[in-house]
Amino acid sequence: MNTKIAIVGAGPGGLSAAARAAELGVSHVLLEAAPHLANTIFLYQKGKHVMAEPNLLPLRSPLAFTAGSREQVLQAWENGAQQLGVTHRLGAEVKAIAGERGNFSLTLTSGEIVNAECVVLAIGLQGNLRKMGVPGENLPFIQYQLDDPDEFAGETIVVVGAGDAAIENALALAAQNSVTIINRRDEFSRAKEGNLNGILRAIKDETLQCLYNSSPTQVVVTPTDGEGDGKPCELYLSTAEGEARIPCDRIIARLGATPARQFVESCGIRFPNDSPNAVPAVSAQYESNVPGLYIIGALAGYPLIKQAMNQGHEVVEFILGNPVEPADEPLLREKFKPILEGRSVDQMLDLIKTTIPLFESLTTLQLREFMLDSDILKPAPGAVIFRRNDYSDTFFSVLDGEVNIQANPDAPEQTISLHAGQFFGEMTLISGRRRNSTVLAGPDCVLIVTPRRSMLKLINSVEAVQRLIDEVFLIRAIRAQMAPDISDEDLAEVARTALIERHETGQALFHEGDVGDSLYMIRRGSVTVSRDIGGRDVVLSYLAAGNYVGEMSLLSNIPRSATVRATVATETIRLDGEPFKALMKRHPTVFMALQKTARERAASGAKAQQSEREGGDVISFLVKQGLGEATDVLLIDETLCVHCDNCEKACAETHKGTSRLDRKAGPSFASVHVPTSCRHCEHPHCMKDCPPDAIHRAPNGEVFIADNCIGCGNCERNCPYGVIRMAYVENKRRSGMLSWLLFGLGTAPGQDLSATAHHDPGAAKKAIKCDMCKDLSGGPACVRACPTGAAIRVSPEEFMVLTR
Amino acid sequence: MHQSFLIYRRARYLKLSLGLMILSLAAYIADARLEQPNGGTWLGYTLGTIGALLIFWLLWFGVRKRKYRSGSGMVSGWLSGHVYLGIALLLVATLHCAFQFGWNLHTLAYTLMVLVILSGFYGVFAYIYFPSRLMDNGGGLSDEAMLTEIAELDGECLAVADKIGDKAHQTMLRSIESTVIGGGLWQQLTATSPRRVQMEAAESKLIDLRNELEEEHTRVMRTLTSLRVQAQIQQQAQQPANPEGSDRTTLFMVDQLAATGSGDKVLAVRQLLDLLSRKKALTARLQRAVQYQALLRFWLIVHVPLSIALLAALLAHIVAVFIYW
Ligand SMILES: Cc1cc2nc3c(=O)[nH]c(=O)nc-3n(C[C@H](O)[C@H](O)[C@H](O)COP(=O)(O)OP(=O)(O)OC[C@H]3O[C@@H](n4cnc5c(N)ncnc54)[C@H](O)[C@@H]3O)c2cc1C
Ligand code: HEM
Ligand code: HEM
Ligand code: SF4
Ligand code: SF4
Ligand code: SF4
């Protein structure tokens, strides 16, 4: 059988492509690994409300898609595929793709080979579930996924795996079944704290069994004459004590997924770098570096259903050589309207590419996507673009005219001008901290304003963009921190030998006593400075991004006087000692600036050493809690807290009835308690993987979730501090305080409504978290409602100083 | 870095309060030279009005505390003012009535006010004293964490008791079933819940059981020793003749010991007692936590209703004065 188009993966992207091919009567085959269409959507929680973001983007597909329940969406696709006569094969996992345009051969896991002229790869990012890899792994008693643990009762179930999914399943199943969990190692080392405690307790209480150091060797259907205890299947294991046999009703193996990337690379497709977020580059026609092999959907870096469906439609047109106006053309035209001046969208894109060197190496598709996310700004001359100490995190490229930067707050009249082709805002992007200068629009200024996520995506997918930004960052950082009036040429040697280094949490940049004279500028993350005092590492101070360390040894040539350690994943720029010393010889002002810093630090260090150790211990504790990457954290003084829970009530009252803060949870040290509440991280982990880009940072630094959240739960998983919850949010009507006070009617002010809420079944679960009451004048309600002054919100710099 | 409500903004309300008190006192002394002090004089009316306004404002605190969206300052600032101006009120009101007390409505209002203020004093003491006690007592464990740990210990106790026998199991079960932490307000305040009694009962039963078992164990051991001695004598008597004979005796001894199983049981009971004493310590800690929290809170049940009663009495006082004066 030879077809024109083979489509791999029946997600929204692949389905839409197949549907278009069927509509046009083009020979095609849609290969899907799962036993049903659209596996990713199939695996959403039952009844999940699927959203049709981005709202503005028109849908272009023969299949229907509107926001609705998971079931409705799947049904609509099922019907559509049938009506259009889509040729699909379920349970057909592709394990290899070889060949070239006109002659591809796709090998299925069954060994069968499918030939096609072109291939559309639409396998998404979910990857393939790992199987047990033993004989019998495909028997019907084995499942690699569990939707609803309550479905089973009274069974003997074996759970294979030691990760969070396996543990959560085992614990949930143990309520109604007899459960054994099989762990290949001798401990559960990969699990989250809560799950770890849960499983260990369950094992101790014997609510379930655990076999350590055991791995499955085969699964067999119980022979009719055997002693299977009436169970349909038997699992054989090799354990430390020899072979074991467990008769059971069901095996649930949760062994994680192999990322799609491995398979994709094996097809000859190149990724720009090793970053886990990297996506393969594709042409404007979605063609990869392998001619005839096309990539669409989440795999190509478009994380939403509608985007995937549009691309499915378009890719078929491209393969057939039909001209298509991309679905986003009208959106771009609208966006460019103020500057179009009779040009076409394509001409405008070309102009952008030629004007701004940063975008030179982008493919047209990347630039379109980038511009779709960005905005065009034409500020009046003198208008403020951002102010020093703002927390905005957008990135700006100058398309025309100029902007003026006030780098020195004490001398606002001194400005540096940037012109067409240059960019700014990279400092905040990299450091995650406040703006360090004020920027004003100059004459004829036209700017491209890009949200943080789109910029990060670009940096991750285009090597050249990353390099250019790093180079500019370096020069600007040296200038900003120690050498304001020095020319580029004069800095060239220092810059040439500079090195970006990455340090893991807890890793030392250098140790006390080390010999070395390089200077480290912290460009991201933060560090602690500590000394060995009486055999103990005592933390003396904390330095955030935008500072430098190592100046003492540079100035004096003596060994390092303290140990400097990264509190979180940290990036530094290492400046070699020799070229820097040469620079200081030429420019005594640089020397003086460094010397001043060194003197101040020596003085405050001595003071810190004299003060009791406790301060240092508290800092170590707070750093261990991950506060080194916080911008604003809620701390409770236990010597003042009267456990009135007014803070939680205030949070619930001001946030639709659900408190986003858990006062009792969280660790304490000395008298400082760190309740479970968002710390508004410098580089919020929660933002990492949000399909509709719903998580933002407000100008005052608050990290908040906007209404276009689709409830996917990624942020809940990604936040290492467990502060995001998925909940039904509705505007609950509260009764007035007076009627409650006088007659006890209705809900008490501050009462948490989440437990009592009756939500209507169509409502969508969304992510909720602390937004630091950004819409309330007067600041965070929790702090303002605390009667004793026990609750405060502070930045790390503040508490590092104040614990002394 | 934290600031207690008592020193909110460098104790600005303390200063305000002291100012008000000095001013009132000075005015009172100055006025007393000119006329007989009384609630009905010009100064009396002024002080009375100030006092009444203070009371309304102090009452409003209960409302402000629940207006979570309010932008009007920090609640800790409000409490700071509440406390210090509440104290000033005591002097202002006393000067207003010029120490003229009697069995009448006016003095009723005054008395209620004093009670509210006194309970407030206790409240401030509690807010200063108990948080640190609670913190030390908790040692980083929240109430919930202690409860789960107690529940876990209960589970372990039952499992171990199972090994000993029915009697031990029943005892433990009863002790666990009668678990009450906290209880009524009085029990919370005094940390005397029936649970403690039950646990002690269980413990003493266990000690009895242990003694019984230990006696049994000693008896067995004594038999064993005498057996061993006999075996040795036998062994010496038939020296080279029959070496297996002594082996046979040793085997017999081991069988004996295994049959009674008393050694295991003694161990298990010891373990149980261990668990129980850990549980007792933890329960005592939890109970103390509950007690401290009750002590932190109960006074509000006096403070608030009395302040409402005060409001009624005050209104009546004012009405009465305007009608009958
Ligand atoms: C919990 C959750 C909620 C979400 N909610 C929304 C939402 O409300 N709205 C929204 O717009 N987006 C949502 N998304 C994102 C959305 O699911 C993805 O953007 C979309 O599914 C991507 O489509 P795709 O076609 O690129 O890939 P997928 O939908 O991932 O489809 C890939 C298909 O390929 C198959 N496959 C994989 N490997 C092979 C192989 N080797 N051989 C054959 N077949 C293979 C898979 O089984 C799968 O069926 C959500 C995501 C998650 C995880
Ligand atoms: C608007 C506020 C007030 C007004 C107008 C007012 C008025 C008066 C007057 C006119 C008297 C004199 C009555 C007499 O001599 O018999 C008086 C007495 C008194 N007032 Fe007030 N008063 C006010 C507030 C208060 C407050 C806040 C308190 C304390 C809770 C208080 C407690 C007393 C007492 C105890 C007396 C003495 C009664 C007596 O003489 O036996 N008053 N008041
Ligand atoms: C007549 C005078 C007073 C009145 C009418 C009054 C009234 C009130 C009211 C209505 C509340 C709110 C309680 C709640 O809703 O939870 C309150 C709380 C309180 N009052 Fe008073 N009060 C008075 C005097 C005082 C004084 C003199 C003190 C201290 C010396 C004091 C200390 C407190 C404290 C500590 C609280 C608790 C605050 C909290 O936990 O939020 N009060 N009072
Ligand atoms: S939700 Fe979590 S990851 Fe996101 S900012 Fe808050 S603490 Fe950081
Ligand atoms: S659940 Fe979190 S990650 Fe997912 S869309 Fe909502 S905010 Fe974004
Ligand atoms: S409001 Fe203040 S005193 Fe009350 S529980 Fe919260 S932190 Fe503790």
pLDDT value of residue A226: 64
Which residue puts its alpha carbon closest to atom 36 of ligand 2? Answer: B97
- Mutating to test ligand 4, I would choose from A632, A679, A717 the residue with most ligand atoms within 8 A of its C-beta, which is A679
Nearest CB neighbour to B296, from listed A643, A665, A786: A643
- In the predicted structure, residue A1 carries a pLDDT above the cut 60: no
- In the predicted structure, residue B306 carries a pLDDT above the cut 60: yes
Residue B204: pLDDT band (50, 70, 90) is confident
CB of B127 less than 8 A from some CB of A: yes
- In the predicted structure, residue A581 carries a pLDDT above the cut 80: yes
Q: Where are the beta strands (DSSP E) in A354-400?
A: 375-377, 384-386, 395-400
pLDDT value of residue B249: 44
Ramachandran region, residue A376 (left: φ > 0; alpha: ψ -120 to 50; beta: rest): beta
Written as one string, the DSSP assignment of A553-580 is HHHH-PPPSSEEEESSSEEEEEE-HHHH
Residue with more model confidence, A694 or B238: A694
Residue type, B230: Q
pLDDT value of residue A798: 84
> Do B5 and A788 lie within an 8 Å CB cutoff?
yes
Return d(Cα A646, Cα A30) in angstroms, integer: 58
> Do B67 and A201 lie within an 8 Å CB cutoff?
no
Residue type, A400: D
Nearest CA to CA, how far is B12 from chain A (Å)?
A: 15
Return d(Cα A5, Cα A18) in angstroms, integer: 9
Query: ipTM above 0.90?
Result: no
pLDDT value of residue B211: 78
pLDDT in tens, A243-297: 999 999 999 999 887 778 889 999 999 988 777 777 888 888 899 999 999 999 9
- In the predicted structure, residue B243 carries a pLDDT above the cut 50: no
Nearest CA in chain B to A782: B68
Residue type, A618: V
- In the predicted structure, residue A391 carries a pLDDT above the cut 70: yes
> Do B1 and A786 lie within an 8 Å CB cutoff?
no
Residue with more model confidence, B194 or A307: A307
Collect all residues of chain B within an 8 Å Cβ-Cβ radius of residue A789: 2-5, 8, 74, 76
Q: Measured from the CB, is residue A679 less than 6 Å from ligand 4? A: yes
- In the predicted structure, residue A755 carries a pLDDT above the cut 60: no
Written as one string, the DSSP assignment of B251-320 is HHHHHHHHHH-HHHHHHHHHHHHHHHHHHHHHHHHHHHHHHHHHHHHTTHHHHHHHHHHHHHHHHHHHHH
Residue A362's Cα: distance from chain center in Å?
Answer: 23
- In the predicted structure, residue A735 carries a pLDDT above the cut 80: no
* Pairing mode of beta strands A703-705, A695-697: antiparallel
pLDDT value of residue A151: 87
Ligand with the closest atom to the CA of A641: 6
> Do B142 and A665 lie within an 8 Å CB cutoff?
yes
Return d(Cα A454, Cα B65) in angstroms, integer: 44
Q: In which residue are the tokens 């192999």 written?
A: A258
Residue B180: pLDDT band (50, 70, 90) is low
CA–CA distances in Å: residue A4 to residues A28, A319, A463, B101: 6, 9, 34, 105
- In the predicted structure, residue B175 carries a pLDDT above the cut 80: no
Instruction: Please give all residues whose beta carbon lies within 6 A of any atom in ligand 2, as ranges.
Output: B 38-40, 44-45, 48-49, 51-52, 55, 93, 96-97, 100, 102, 104, 106-107, 109-110, 113, 314, 317-318, 321, 325
Q: What is the B307 CA–ligand 3 centroid distance (Å)?
A: 8
pLDDT value of residue B94: 96
Nearest CA to CA, how far is B73 from chain A (Å)?
A: 7
Nearest CA to CA, how far is B160 from chain A (Å)?
A: 12
Q: Strand, helix or coil at A278?
A: coil
Interfacial B residues in 59-98 facing A (CB < 8 Å): 63, 65-71, 73-76, 78-79
Which residue puts its alpha carbon closest to atom 2 of ligand 5? Answer: A715
Q: Measured from the CB, is residue A643 less than 6 Å from ligand 6? A: yes
Residue with more model confidence, A256 or B31: B31
Nearest CA to CA, how far is B296 from chain A (Å)?
A: 7
> Do B144 and A664 lie within an 8 Å CB cutoff?
yes
> Do A792 and B296 lie within an 8 Å CB cutoff?
no
Q: In which residue are the tokens 């893991």 written?
A: A504
Q: Please answer whether residues A500 and A571 qualify as being in contact, where contact means their C-beta atoms are separated by less than 8 angstroms.
A: yes
Return d(Cα A51, Cα A425) in angstroms, integer: 32
Interfacial A residues in 659-688 facing B (CB < 8 Å): 664-665, 667-669, 671
- In the predicted structure, residue A740 carries a pLDDT above the cut 70: no
pLDDT above 70 as % of chain A: 93
Nearest CB neighbour to A781, from listed B68, B130, B297: B68
Return d(Cα B249, Cα B256) in angstroms, integer: 11
- In the predicted structure, residue B197 carries a pLDDT above the cut 60: no
> Do A667 and B132 lie within an 8 Å CB cutoff?
no
CA–CA distances in Å: residue B141 to residues A377, A646, B186: 54, 21, 25
pLDDT in tens, A316-366: 999 999 988 888 888 999 999 999 888 999 999 999 999 999 998 888 888
Q: In which residue are the tokens 């509190």 written?
A: A567
pLDDT value of residue B242: 46
- In the predicted structure, residue A730 carries a pLDDT above the cut 90: no
Q: Which of A15-19, A602-606, A617-621, B261-265 has the lowest mean pLDDT?
A: B261-265
Q: Measured from the CB, is residue A646 less than 6 Å from ligand 6? A: yes
| DSSP, res A154 | S
Q: Measured from the CB, is residue A637 less than 6 Å from ligand 6? A: no
pLDDT above 90 as % of chain B: 46
Nearest CA to CA, how far is B107 from chain A (Å)?
A: 27
pLDDT value of residue B127: 96
Collect all residues of chain B within an 8 Å Cβ-Cβ radius of residue A737: 63, 66-67
Q: Which of A193-207, A244-258, B301-315 has the lowest mean pLDDT?
A: A193-207
Q: Please answer whether residues B195 and B178 qualify as being in contact, where contact means their C-beta atoms are separated by less than 8 angstroms.
A: yes
Q: Which of A384, A395, A404, A403 has its CA nearest to residue A446?
A: A403
Nearest CA to CA, how far is B78 from chain A (Å)?
A: 8
pLDDT value of residue B303: 96
pLDDT value of residue A250: 94
Q: Which of A631-635, A696-700, B119-123, B267-271 has the lowest mean pLDDT?
A: B267-271
Average pLDDT over residues A739-748: 59
CB of B131 less than 8 A from some CB of A: yes
Report which ligand 6 atom has the smallest distance to the Cα of A642. Answer: 3
pLDDT in tens, A465-500: 999 999 999 988 888 887 777 888 888 888 888 999
- In the predicted structure, residue A207 carries a pLDDT above the cut 80: yes
Return d(Cα A270, Cα A281) in angstroms, integer: 8
pLDDT value of residue B236: 64
Residue B172's Cα: distance from chain center in Å?
Answer: 26
Q: What is the A711 CA–ligand 5 centroid distance (Å)?
A: 5
Q: Which of A775, A788, A800, A801 is the best substitution to test chain B (most B C-beta atoms within 10 A)?
A: A788
pLDDT in tens, A604-639: 877 777 765 666 788 888 888 888 899 999 999 999
Ligand with the closest atom to the CA of B46: 2
Average pLDDT over residues A508-514: 94
pLDDT in tens, A517-541: 899 999 999 999 998 887 788 888 8
Return d(Cα B212, Cα B210) in angstroms, integer: 5
Q: Measured from the CB, is residue A733 less than 6 Å from ligand 6? A: no
Q: Which of B3, B6, B59, B68 is the best substitution to test chain A (most A C-beta atoms within 10 A)?
A: B68
Collect all residues of chain B within an 8 Å Cβ-Cβ radius of residue A641: 131
pLDDT value of residue A734: 55
Nearest CB neighbour to B127, from listed A201, A642, A650: A642
Sheet holding A384-386, edge to edge: A384-386, A438-441, A402-406, A416-419
* Structure-block tokens of residue A414: 């001194």
pLDDT in tens, A654-680: 998 889 999 988 888 888 999 999 999
pLDDT value of residue A352: 95
Collect all residues of chain A within an 8 Å Cβ-Cβ radius of residue B127: 642, 788
Nearest CA in chain A to B296: A642
CB of B143 less than 8 A from some CB of A: yes
